[in-house]
């Protein structure tokens, strides 16, 4: 094996090749570049093994005017392992220095608070793969522990940590050459999307996945699915085999929890102590090696791209949850500002990559996880943009969801370091946010913000082009569906949240969800009044989790839980905007009430696909191979209908496919405020369809006028009250034509044996009154009959109410006149509903918490 050697070093100072390691195919050489503007010396080292070996070649790099250190090297092709040593003004180069010595040491930080230490081998922030992480068993096997990475005065094995050489233990970058194709991007219009949020491991690691095809063979629409081979469980390759399932369900996007290399002791099916979800990013360009069945150098890259190709072939887009707001480098050790455990970013340019206190402390103010990144720095902004380009251009990814995205819109250097009021300011015009939006527009990439962090709630404040998780939709639907009677909020957010998204591209920028990975599952939301995180393996214990869940246990009544689950699923998919659900919600997955299992890589948290084929999913064992484990709480009950079908899954597919096939629910515009406009309009009525709903009403109707969309018209009849609701469907006598209404959905328990849904061709024809059972929703469908040249008042006898540009309800067709906010004081026939903060008892006599 030839050792790497320098090529044309006289050219390095003026070179412009990009950051990272890149093969030059014409010459067969590899260029290396790393940013360390304040460093005084950088060496590039090559290693024969990931751990247990010293470098077999070392090359002194040259710094260019741009602050980037570069080298061009021969014999450094695919699979080459490399790392860096860095000196600075705090640690000058001394020819007497050797790994593990203090020669040249002056202080642990330079005058600008950078931590430079040549004893700490660093891996390339732009590495396409990383050999291992600092919490890996490989570090222990090589004779060290995590403490070896600590710098500064904090001791390790009797000496200051700064003197501990990490060459034999540090993660190494891997040179990657790979030509695997990722297929053709499906590029669905954003408004057509339905997002399925999933964890790579959780998706297929449960033993039941090896029988996926067998289990769902009798469930309509899911025939012909593959079984997941045992050796592919919990891997990219295993996830790829789920593509036909997602297509059958009616989803267009799989959004994966973080797949960047992370710092974790979770390995395979082994439950470690922390960070199962992967929100501690170690390397922003490298796929997580633990998620690959192929652990060889280059294996994770190849397998990830093959997974993307499989989803693309099925018409499924791949989004990634990305974490740029902080890194996994661990903060200051032992409370000592001179100590840190940098293995990459911080060792090259602490002050460029991280937001610091005035004394140089690593902060966690907005993230709660330390190592908050510094987006006043062009270097950090470029890291984000370059990472996004790599995952799109090379790895085939279609879109990104940004964890704690407001951090990317802050400018730490624009205020005094310890002025926490000023530090919290969010800049919606931040150059990085605009650059991400521009990158997305130019490359047909979708970008979605989690628009809140510990310092602020910025839903609706991101620049045009950004989609956003709509936490207001989540809260409004959760509250209204348990009887809180927040009628105005329900109307505003079911209509696509015009107030917060009207200055963006359309309602498709509102990502509508009622559950996400960090919270209750959808069935737990209707089954527990409070989180239940302090429970034994395999459902706990785990810390954290919100105490404000807007959940209700449905009075302990299992049939009501199933009804309320159907309501939440239905509202998510029929609301204006883009629906997102969590993997397993479609069949009633439960975590026994744990609303924050971030650290749990256990059989209780993985998707149990046997439940998807069972009429009594919560009565199944967590793992038949471990009968001694605590079981699922029996919260679902036994569904009515022919076993072994899970009627929740059947219903979920019906609703998702309804949205997929009906243009009415997939629009880029809000409805017109005048009558008879061409756009799809959501118009709200009380039960008699004559007047708008009153604040606090828990029984209302939504007329969805298809305009000229090519879709059908719909009535959504909503009853979030414990008494039946009678809706008078006799159409307005002056309407130009009458609808032939057909009932296609009724979420009430009585309809469960029939799946709560019917094909339009065989549905019940409805005219006159229709009674909606307590806590239920009914959907009626009809071909449009309204002629644009003869618009009427829709189908109610009154004008109804619609949300205006401020999210305030106004009488339809009368926006040009001054109207007060709808606060109806007259009395009409309706159940005597209690005030919205005092929900009445349900049919079982239970009272949902406000």
Catalytic residue ranges: 403, 450
Closest CA to 119 of 67, 160, 60: 160
CA distance 539 to 603: 8
CA distance 266 to 819: 59
Q: How many CB atoms lie within 10 A of CB 850?
A: 15
Query: CA 492, 494, 500, 506: dihedral to nearest 10 degrees?
Result: -130
For every residue of 726-795, DSSP letters joined together read EEE-PPPTT-SS---EEEEEE-SGGGGGGTTB--GGGSEEE-SEEEEPTTEEEEEEE-----TTS--STT
Peptide bond into 644 cis (omega under 30): yes
Closest CA to 84 of 144, 135, 125: 125
For the chain, what is the largest distance between any 2 Cα atoms, rounded to a whole number of angstroms? 98
Please identify which residue in the block is written with the tokens 């030509």.
179
Stretch (H or E) spanning 438: helix 431-443
CA distance 365 to 413: 15
Q: Would you state the structure tokens that stand for residue 793, as one six-digit string?
A: 């008042």
* 471-481 vs 487-494: helix crossing angle, rounded to 10: 130
Yes or no: say if 347 and 371 are a contact pair by the CB < 8 Å rule.
Answer: no
What SS3 state is found at 242? coil
Dihedrals phi, psi of 386, to nearest 5 degrees: -65, -40
Yes or no: say if 558 and 619 are a contact pair by the CB < 8 Å rule.
Answer: no
Report angle CA 136, 396, 277 to the nearest 5 degrees: 35
Question: What residue spans of 76-191 are helical by DSSP H?
Answer: 137-141
Q: How many CB atoms lie within 10 A of CB 310?
A: 21
Residue partners of 382: CB distance under 8 A and separation at least 6: none
């Amino acid at each position: 094996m030839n050792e790497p050697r320098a090529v044309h070093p006289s050219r390095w100072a003026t070179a412009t090749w990009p950051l990272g390691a890149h093969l030059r195919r014409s010459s067969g050489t590899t260029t290396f570049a790393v940013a360390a503007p304040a460093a005084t010396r950088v060496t590039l080292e090559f290693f024969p093994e990931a751990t247990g070996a010293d470098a077999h070649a070392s090359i002194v790099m040259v710094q260019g005017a741009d602050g980037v250190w570069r080298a061009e090297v021969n014999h450094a092709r695919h699979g080459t392992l490399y790392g860096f040593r860095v000196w600075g003004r705090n640690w000058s180069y001394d020819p007497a220095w050797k790994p593990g010595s203090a020669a040249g040491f002056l202080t642990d930080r330079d005058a600008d608070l950078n931590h430079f230490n040549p004893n700490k081998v660093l891996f390339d922030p732009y590495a396409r793969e990383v050999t291992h992480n600092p919490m890996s068993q490989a570090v222990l096997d090589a004779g060290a522990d995590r403490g070896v990475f600590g710098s500064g005065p904090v001791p390790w094995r009797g000496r200051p940590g700064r003197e501990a050489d990490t060459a034999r233990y540090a993660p190494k970058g891997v040179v990657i050459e790979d030509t695997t194709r990722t297929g053709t991007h499906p590029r669905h219009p954003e408004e057509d999307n339905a997002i399925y949020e999933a964890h790579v491991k959780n998706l297929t690691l449960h033993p039941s996945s090896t029988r996926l095809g067998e289990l769902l063979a009798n469930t309509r629409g899911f025939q012909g699915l593959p079984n997941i081979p045992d050796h592919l469980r919990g891997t990219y390759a295993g996830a790829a085999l789920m593509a036909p399932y997602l297509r059958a369900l009616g989803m267009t996007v799989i959004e994966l929890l973080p797949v960047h290399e992370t710092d974790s002791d979770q390995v395979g099916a082994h439950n470690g102590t922390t960070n199962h979800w992967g929100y501690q990013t170690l390397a922003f360009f490298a796929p997580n090696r633990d998620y690959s069945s192929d652990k060889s150098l280059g294996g994770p890259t190849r397998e990830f791209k093959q997974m993307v190709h499989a989803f693309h072939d099925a018409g499924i887009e791949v989004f990634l949850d990305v974490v740029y707001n902080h890194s996994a480098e661990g903060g200051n050790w032992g409370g000592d500002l001179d100590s840190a455990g940098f293995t990459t970013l911080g060792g090259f340019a602490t002050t460029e990559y991280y937001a610091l206190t005035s004394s140089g402390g690593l902060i966690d103010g907005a993230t709660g996880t330390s190592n908050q990144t510094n987006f006043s720095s062009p270097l950090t902004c470029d890291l984000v943009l370059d990472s996004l380009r790599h995952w799109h251009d090379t790895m085939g990814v279609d879109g990104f969801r940004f964890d704690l995205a407001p951090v990317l819109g802050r400018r730490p250097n624009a205020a005094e370091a310890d002025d926490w009021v000023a530090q919290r300011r969010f800049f919606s015009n931040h150059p990085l946010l605009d650059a991400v939006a521009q990158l997305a527009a130019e490359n047909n990439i979708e970008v979605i913000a989690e628009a809140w962090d510990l310092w602020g709630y910025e839903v609706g404040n991101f620049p045009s082009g950004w989609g956003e998780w709509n936490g207001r939709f989540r809260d409004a639907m959760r509250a209204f569906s348990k009887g809180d009677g927040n009628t105005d909020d329900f109307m505003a957010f079911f209509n696509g949240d015009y107030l917060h998204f009207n200055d963006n591209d359309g309602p498709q920028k509102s990502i509508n969800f009622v559950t996400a990975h960090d919270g209750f599952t959808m069935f737990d939301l209707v089954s527990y009044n409070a989180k239940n995180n302090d429970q034994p393996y395999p459902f706990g214990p785990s810390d954290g989790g919100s105490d404000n869940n807007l959940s209700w246990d449905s009075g302990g009544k299992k049939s009501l839980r199933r009804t309320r689950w159907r309501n939440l699923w239905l509202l998510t998919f029929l609301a204006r905007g883009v629906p997102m659900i969590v993997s397993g919600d479609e069949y009633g997955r439960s975590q026994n009430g744990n609303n924050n299992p971030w650290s749990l890589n256990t059989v209780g948290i993985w998707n149990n696909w046997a439940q998807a084929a069972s009429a009594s999913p919560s009565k199944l064992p967590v793992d038949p191979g471990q009968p001694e484990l605590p079981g699922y709480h029996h919260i679902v009950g036994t569904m009515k209908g022919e076993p072994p079908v899970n009627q929740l899954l059947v219903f979920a597919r019906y609703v998702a496919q309804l949205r997929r096939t009906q243009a009415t629910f997939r629009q880029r515009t809000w409805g017109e405020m005048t009558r008879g406009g061409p756009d799809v309009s959501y118009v709200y009525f009380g039960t008699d369809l004559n007047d708008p709903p009153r604040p606090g009403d828990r029984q209302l109707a939504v007329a969805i006028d298809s305009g000229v969309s090519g879709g059908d018209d719909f009535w959504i009849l909503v009853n979030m009250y414990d008494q039946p609701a009678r809706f008078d469907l006799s159409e307005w006598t002056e309407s130009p034509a009458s609808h032939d209404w057909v009932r296609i959905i009724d979420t009430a328990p009585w309809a469960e044996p029939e799946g709560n849904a019917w094909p339009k061709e065989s549905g019940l024809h409805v005219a006159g009154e229709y009674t909606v059972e307590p806590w239920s929703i009914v959907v009626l469908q009809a071909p449009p009959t309204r002629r644009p040249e003869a618009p009427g008042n829709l189908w109610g006898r009154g004008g109804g109410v619609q949300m205006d540009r401020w999210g305030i309800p106004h009488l339809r067709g009368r926006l040009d006149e001054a109207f007060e906010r709808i606060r109806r004081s007259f009395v009409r026939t309706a159940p005597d509903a209690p005030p919205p903060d005092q929900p009445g008892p349900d049919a079982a006599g239970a009272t949902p918490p406000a």
